Amino acid sequence: MSWETRNGKGRYYTRSVRVGGRFVREYIGAGAYGECIAADDARARAERADEAAAARAEIEQLSELDRLVTASAREAQLVASQALTAAGYRRHQRGEWRKTRGQA
């Protein structure tokens, strides 16, 4: 989005649009109409930036929650492993827990 001046004939507003995988400059207008469209584009750009910032903040918050859940799950697995070992169980080839033979 930019204001352009060519051949000294005044300013006009253009924006880049993707057409078929390449960018093409689109003439919008000059004067009050161009300024109105430029203001609308700036507002939309600011809204997209705000939405992106909110999404980044949510991702950051969720990644922190994920880290806490992962740490809690590791801790619970360790406690369960210790409790089963103390009760006479063993892990068969690092798989399922089985009662050790010879114990009642």
Assess if residue 39 is contained within a domain: yes
Q: Which pLDDT belongs to residue 92?
A: 83
pTM above 0.85, yes or no: no
Assess if residue 100 is contained within a domain: no
What's the domain range around 7?
2-89
Assess if residue 104 is contained within a domain: no
Assess if residue 29 is contained within a domain: yes
| Cβ within 8 Å of residue 23, ≥6 positions away | 16, 17
Assess if residue 98 is contained within a domain: no
Total domain count for the chain? Answer: 1
Distance of CA 10 to CAs 2, 17, 30, 41, 65, Å?
A: 13, 22, 8, 21, 55
Assess if residue 99 is contained within a domain: no
CB distance 48 to 69 below 8 Å: no
Coil, helix or strand at residue 25: strand
pLDDT band at 49 (very low <50, low <70, confident <90, very high): very high
Nearest to 14 by CA among 5, 23, 1, 24: 1
Over pLDDT 70: what percentage of the chain?
97
